[in-house]
Amino acid sequence: MTGGPEGTFTALRSQLQDAAATFADGPGALEGILRGIVDDVERAVSEPLEIFPVCHHSPASAIAMARRLREKQPKTVYLELCEDMAPLLTELRNCRLPVAVQSFASEIDGFPADWAPLSVVAPVTEASAEYQAIAYALDTPGVELVLVDRSSDHVFQWETGPDGEADSEGDGDPDAPEATEQTALHGDAVGVEIGDLRPRFAELEEHLLRHGRVRHWSEWWHQYVELPLGDSDHDTYRQVMLLIGSLFRRLAPGDPGRVRVDEDRERYMWTRMREHLAATATDPADCLYVCGAFHAASRVAEFGVHGSDTFTISPPSGTRWRHGLIPSSHGAIEAQFGLAAGSVSIAATEWAKNVRRTGVRPFRLEGQAGAKSAKPRKALATTASAPPAPPADRLTGFLRRPPALDALDEAELLGWSVEIVRAARRNGYLASTADAIAVFETSILLAGMRDRAKPTPYDFQDAAVTCIEKDAVPGRRDVGRLVEIMMGGDRVGRVGYDALPPLARDVHDRLAPLELRLQQRGVQRALLDIASRPELGHCSDLLWMLRRLLPRGAARPIMGERRLGERPIQESWDLALGTHERALIELGYEGVSIEQVLEQRLRRVAYAPQATAAQVLEAVEDAMLYLRSRRLADELGTRALEVLASERSVDGAPEVLRRIRRLLAHYRTCEPVLPPWIESFVKTGYAHYCTLLPTAFTDDDATVRQVAAMLGFLFGMEGLALSLGCDRTQLELALAQSHPAEPARTALLWAAQTHLGTLPRPVLRARCAELLGNPLVLPAYPRYLSGFVHALEPVPGLADFVVEAVSNAFALLPDAVLLPWLPTLITTLRAGGTELAPLLIREAGRVFPARLAELDAWVPPWRLPREPQRVPVESAASAAGALPLLVAHPATCDALAELLGCDGTWESAGARSSGAALLSRYPQTARALETLLAVS
């Protein structure tokens, strides 16, 4: 409906037309905007179903709502809130506000996978009009509360930007400070707020702030809307809010995506309301529609009870949504919806003042924390409602009336000044009575400079910062933050025990033996003497699972650790479950017990498309460590075997080696036999890494540490693999086919060949000496040493040679080569320090002298002259007894002579002398051969 010549706002329309002609130099676009605003207001106030426009967290809206509900007593309240959140609203009585109603989905269907988890929150504070409507509807018999806004599923169906990412209705201030513990209570959730009322036209907001002499939008709204409407009558409040909503709507930039979402939400809400009216045969005169002022001035065809029914609501996706209540705070609301810091706290203070000044009795849910017990409200009378009176024009008088001058409340301002000085002194400022006087006078001065009759909290904050803080902040909090705390602080809500999901209640019940107030915010110390109180062992198990699932800091062990096969004796924990209550509640959306959630997450990790063998082995270890579930560990172990067989890279080789070693040690000490999956894993891994070894030695993407981990798996698991049917020839062929060009990998190959016996130590020592003696290779020698250090992973028996090689490097390398290499050595030892550094330190301690005085005369063992060994008489006699055997089998003797580097040929006459020479040169071998074959 648009106003005609005889409309309610004819006089106002004529005045605005004259103003447009005067200021715009003739009718045009400005006249159209101004006349359109009046048409929007008249259309909304003439609607048979009363529309109540609100602004989110506005004390003026809350006072007007409470007053109107007691006057009208509607039988049906339509509320702009996600319709699937309705079952949660009754649980608000078990909470301490502010809290947020949340819709959560961890497993999504119909949305991109990288959006998970999906979360939608709607914060509720006591100083908000929507809470007044909820409290009235839930505690008044015969009143029905109907949520009519799009569902949480439709929020993500519609809120998609051009890049495919979900947009947030409350994007936050880009210049806001970094999120703190309180401001992060909502996480990354998309915020749904009732009454989104802020200019979307940046130039308009800048113009309002500049001419209003304020710093930010929250201060402008407080000065020019909150204070004038704080004690206004219902019609004036309603028409002014509609005027503001229409103005911001018509001056909003033409963003097609944003406009489409806004209009679709309005079509959705009016469609739902008409469906409910038709289904219940409710008289629109007995209803109240609570929505944001921006949506109240809608111009869509579906607007009103007589609007068109052309809008089709799309079906929901296959995503399964969970709902619950999470704690919120003033800071979290400000951060999520782009409000100025402290504005919600100031709004709460203003709400309390308005309640005292106006005498309006606000609604509060019965049984809510801090609420007085009240008698049950009587049901509404079922009398026929009188037809509504035609709306009167309140806008003309309101716009003509000069602002009411509110006299200075000196007592209040003096109290603020004294209190801020006291708070400043507690926080390290050198404030005195003179500063209190200066703050008082400066507040009045600033208010006068800004054309205000009395200082606002924002004027007082500026004055306090100017007079007290100056240029230094001695403590954690600046003066601006102290003023916010003094005005009400960052009040943090709490979800009551009865409103928690079953999992969260189960956690609190199982941790009851700790005798702590777990819902209290902050850190609490828990001491568990499990040896004397075995029942605390169950608390320990639960705490370790919470540490695995909750954010860092929710459950932090101070003393004690959880290892495979070990049982705790004493533990100490720092618990902050009350601070991280949101995360605990969101766990409750995933299952009914903490064990179920942990099992689901481990399976999700193991069966992810991009899962690696190392990640699956970690899930196996966690299943044994936290759940002690052999069934789940065997299932995930089988999955690890499948993933390993399909991998074509060696990126996870170090982690695979570390975890399979730990699991093998556990099963060997705690189980009578190894599980079948771990035997198959070792067997498959042996063949798998043998296949990848030649490529890894030459692949630029594979690091030396990864190749060393592969060799560590092959050498460390070799005994078990061979007993399971693997062939060592496969490993020998893999090493024979490896031809690395990089020095570190070459050294790693030499170490592997030494372990297999194909490269004797004297030859390896000679190669290193040759490298040190070659001036062209000398700059690359540290890289060879890095390879030898990494070789301690697969060949720990090479520790003495590595100590020798490093010592020779320190002794012979020039400083220009040695000093740049030292950071590389330190980095290598730090990366593998848990396994490598102790080997080198232990070996160096054995080789080097223990006292400083002995160092000057000390000669390294590898520099001592090597005397030729002489064969004792009895050894020669024993060797002579073995000659017939060697003559009878010359091929064996030839192979042994070639392996030991002994040259010579067989001659019929000199066979005995050749064998004797061989036996004389290696008497120990002859004795061992004699003992083995029992030759006398």
Q: DSSP labels for 471-529?
A: T---SSS-HHHHHHHHTT---B-EE-GGGS-HHHHHHHHHTGGG---TTSSS-EEEEEE
What is the structure's pLDDT at 825?
A: 74
3-state secondary structure of 835: coil
* Mean pLDDT value of segment 345-372: 80
What is the structure's pLDDT at 934?
A: 54
CA distances from 825 to 238, 502, 740, 836, 883 (A): 75, 53, 21, 12, 51
pTM above 0.85, yes or no: no
Which strands sit side by side in the sheet containing 287-292, from one edge to the other? 50-54, 287-292, 76-82, 144-149
Q: What is the pLDDT of residues 779-788, one digit of tens each?
A: 888 888 888 8
What is the structure's pLDDT at 639?
A: 93
Of residues 224 and 549, more confidence is placed in 549
**Longest Cα pair distance anywhere in the chain, in angstroms?**
141
Of residues 129 and 843, more confidence is placed in 129
What is the structure's pLDDT at 907?
A: 59
Computed over every residue of the chain, the mean pLDDT equals: 80
* Mean pLDDT value of segment 810-827: 80
What is the structure's pLDDT at 178?
A: 44
**Residue 907: partners with Cβ closer than 8 Å, 6 or more residues away:** 914
Q: What is the pLDDT of residues 517-526, one digit of tens each?
A: 888 888 999 9
Of residues 514 and 868, more confidence is placed in 514
* Mean pLDDT value of segment 729-736: 90
Name the residue among 859, 874, 879 with its Cα closest to residue 920.
879
3-state secondary structure of 571: strand
What is the structure's pLDDT at 256?
A: 72
Q: Is the pLDDT at 165 greater than 60, yes or no?
A: no
Of residues 630 and 395, more confidence is placed in 630
3-state secondary structure of 782: helix
DSSP state of 905: -
Q: Is the pLDDT at 198 greater than 60, yes or no?
A: yes
Q: Is the pLDDT at 448 greater than 90, yes or no?
A: no
Confidence of residue 258 (pLDDT cuts 50, 70, 90): confident
Q: Are 62 and 129 in contact (CB under 8 A)?
A: yes
Q: Is the pLDDT at 87 greater than 80, yes or no?
A: yes
Q: Are 457 and 409 in contact (CB under 8 A)?
A: no
Q: Is the pLDDT at 614 greater than 80, yes or no?
A: yes
Q: Is the pLDDT at 306 greater than 80, yes or no?
A: yes
What is the structure's pLDDT at 390?
A: 60
What is the structure's pLDDT at 377?
A: 62
Which strands sit side by side in the sheet containing 99-105, from one edge to the other? 190-191, 118-124, 99-105, 322-327
Phi, psi of 75 (to 5 degrees): -90, -20
Of residues 81 and 193, more confidence is placed in 81
First to last CA, the chain: 123
Confidence of residue 931 (pLDDT cuts 50, 70, 90): low
Q: Is the pLDDT at 106 greater than 60, yes or no?
A: yes
Instruction: Report how far residue 643's alpha carbon sits from residue 638's, in angstroms, rounded to the nearest whole number.
Output: 9
What is the structure's pLDDT at 310?
A: 83
Task: Tell me the three-class secondary structure of 321-348, residue by residue.
Answer: CEEEEEECEHHHHHHHHCCCCCHHHHHH
Confidence of residue 30 (pLDDT cuts 50, 70, 90): low
Phi, psi of 102 (to 5 degrees): -125, 140
* Mean pLDDT value of segment 718-734: 89
Name the residue among 145, 99, 104 with its Cα closest to residue 123.
99
Q: Are 132 and 69 in contact (CB under 8 A)?
A: yes
Instruction: Report how far residue 730's alpha carbon sits from residue 752's, in angstroms, rounded to the nearest whole number.
Output: 14
What is the structure's pLDDT at 808?
A: 83
Q: What percentage of the chain carries pLDDT values higher than 70? A: 80
Q: Is the dihedral of CA 475, 481, 486, 492 positive or negative?
A: negative
Q: Is the pLDDT at 181 greater than 60, yes or no?
A: no
Count of alpha carbons within 13 Å of 548, Cβ hemisphere only? 23
Q: What percentage of the chain carries pLDDT values higher than 90? A: 20
CA dihedral 501, 503, 506, 508 (to 10 degrees): -70
> Before 53, cis peptide (omega within 30)?
no
Lowest mean pLDDT among 328-332, 515-519, 672-676: 328-332
Confidence of residue 4 (pLDDT cuts 50, 70, 90): very low
Q: Is the pLDDT at 908 greater than 80, yes or no?
A: no
What is the structure's pLDDT at 918?
A: 63
Q: Is the dihedral of CA 43, 49, 50, 55 positive or negative?
A: negative
Lowest mean pLDDT among 29-38, 352-361, 402-411, 586-595: 402-411
Pairing of strands 494-495, 95-96: antiparallel
Q: Is the pLDDT at 659 greater than 80, yes or no?
A: yes
Q: Where are the alpha helices (DSSP H) in 387-432?
A: 395-400, 410-426
Q: Is the dihedral of CA 689, 692, 696, 697 positive or negative?
A: positive
CA distances from 829 to 227, 530, 779, 785, 786 (A): 68, 38, 21, 12, 9
What is the structure's pLDDT at 900?
A: 63
Name the residue among 369, 341, 469, 292 with its Cα closest to residue 99.
369
What is the structure's pLDDT at 170?
A: 41
Instruction: Report how far residue 788's alpha carbon sits from residue 783's, in angstroms, rounded to the nearest whole number.
Output: 9
What is the structure's pLDDT at 290?
A: 92
Q: Is the pLDDT at 868 greater than 90, yes or no?
A: no
* Mean pLDDT value of segment 22-51: 72
Of residues 901 and 595, more confidence is placed in 595
Instruction: Report how far residue 155's alpha carbon sits from residue 82's, in angstroms, rounded to the nearest whole number.
Output: 9
